Amino acid sequence: MIAQILLADDNADILTLMSEHLARRGHRVIAVADGVALAQKAAEHRPHLIVTDIKMPGSYGSSVYQVLQGDPHTNRIPIIFMSAHAAEKIAALLPKDPKTRFLKKPVDLKTLDATIAELLPLGGYVP
Distance CA(122)–CA(99), nearest Å, equals 6
Burial of 127 (0-12, 13-18, 19+ CB in 10 A): exposed
* pLDDT digit string, tens, across residues 76-124: 999 999 998 887 888 787 888 999 999 999 999 999 999 999 999 877 7
Name the β-bridge partners of 3: none
The CATH class that applies to domain 4-122 reads alpha beta
* pLDDT digit string, tens, across residues 8-60: 999 999 999 999 999 999 999 999 999 889 999 999 999 999 999 988 877 76
pLDDT of residue 78: 95
Distance CA(122)–CA(8), nearest Å, equals 20
Q: Is the pLDDT score of 127 beyond 90? A: no
Domain positions in the chain: 4-122
pTM of the predicted structure, to 2 decimals = 0.92
Q: What is the CA radius of gyration of the chain?
A: 13
Q: Which residues contact 127 (CB under 8 A, 6 or more apart)?
A: 2, 3, 120
pLDDT of residue 64: 85
Q: Is the pLDDT score of 63 beyond 90? A: no
